[in-house]
Amino acid sequence: MKEKQNLLILGAGGFAKSIGDAAHDTGVFNVFGYVVNIPPFERDSYLGGKPVFWIDQLEDVDKDCVVACGLGSMKRIKFIEDVLSMGFQFTNIIHPTAYVSSIVELGVGIFINSGSQIASDASLSDHVIINRGALIGHGVRIGMYSVISPGVNIASNVHIGARTKIGIGAIIIDKVRIGKNCFVGAGSLLTRDVPDNVKVVGMPARIIERNIEME
């Protein structure tokens, strides 16, 4: 039997634990520990029997450990960049109940949760999150650090810019283009293109705020 790969998970909240569960279910990874860079966790803490490391303690951790990010906010970007600068490599976590076409282009640091489906010719850039039960149509393009929430249904040939979050249960019709640094509200129906840096909500969705900064 192939030896499991040790995995570090950034964050120590509920989403980080979900990634730990998914990693365990793959049968490929051994959760080595969690990593934090803000309180309330104290040094030498444990989560689910696994150690919680402060980021500066990673200097003493074997660089053979691979990393996944268990944070859903855009604050994770600097955390990820800091860990990359320390020489660690990010890996993809794909839950065994997810379906991913054999002709999907995947970056690194991607998380695809249980029950999701990714159709042919889709492309997911680095550090994209596809949460549970999301449906991604063929030819969809999703930019770096974007988050697709549970139950989202994205039709074919949709383009989503970097650092954009699609809220739970949203529906996006085919060929829509969504800019970077956008937020699509939960349950929204998006039927037309939207520019960068906007928040849209509703059925059909409309712009309610411009020049937003995703956090």
Residue ranges in 43-154 assigned as alpha helix (H): 76-85
Q: Which domain range does residue 21 map to?
A: 5-90
Candidates 130, 159, 121, 126; CA nearest to 145 is 126
What does the block give as tokens for 117? 């489906």
Q: What is the pTM assigned to this prediction?
A: 0.95
Q: How far is Cα of residue 90 from the mean position of the Cα atoms in its chain?
A: 12
Q: Are residues 77 and 107 in the same domain?
A: no
> In this structure, what are the phi and psi dihedrals at residue 16, rounded to the nearest 5 degrees?
-60, -40
> In this structure, what are the phi and psi dihedrals at residue 193, rounded to the nearest 5 degrees?
-60, 150
Mean pLDDT of all residues in 23-28:
95
pLDDT band at 113 (very low <50, low <70, confident <90, very high): very high
pLDDT above 80 for 80:
yes
Q: Give the count of alpha carbons within 13 A of 41, CB side only.
A: 20
Mean pLDDT estimate for the chain: 95
Give the range with max mean pLDDT: 2-16, 46-60, 188-202.
188-202
Classify residue 51: in a domain, yes or no: yes
Verify cis geometry, omega within 30 degrees of 0, for the bond prior to 39.
Answer: no
Mean pLDDT of all residues in 18-24:
95
Q: Note the pLDDT tens digit of each residue in 29-61.
A: 999 999 999 888 888 899 989 999 999 999 888
For the chain, percent of residues with pLDDT exceeding 70: 100
Q: Are residues 66 and 100 in the same domain?
A: no
Q: Are residues 79 and 115 in the same domain?
A: no
Who contacts 170 (Cβ-Cβ below 8 Å, separation ≥6)? 149, 152, 153, 184, 185, 186, 187, 188, 189, 190
Which residue among 90, 119, 149 closes a domain? Answer: 90
Q: Are residues 31 and 123 in the same domain?
A: no
Predicted confidence at residue 41, as pLDDT, reads 82
Mean pLDDT of all residues in 71-92:
95
pLDDT above 60 for 176:
yes
Classify residue 129: in a domain, yes or no: yes
CA 102/CA 122 separation, integer angstroms: 10
- CATH code of the domain covering residue 123: 2.160.10.10
Query: Residues 71, 55: contact at Cβ < 8 Å?
Result: no
The count of domains in the chain is 2
Q: Are residues 98 and 186 in the same domain?
A: yes
pLDDT above 70 for 136:
yes
Verify cis geometry, omega within 30 degrees of 0, for the bond prior to 40.
Answer: yes
Mean pLDDT of all residues in 17-24:
95
Q: Note the pLDDT tens digit of each residue in 163-173.
A: 999 999 999 99
pLDDT above 70 for 1:
no
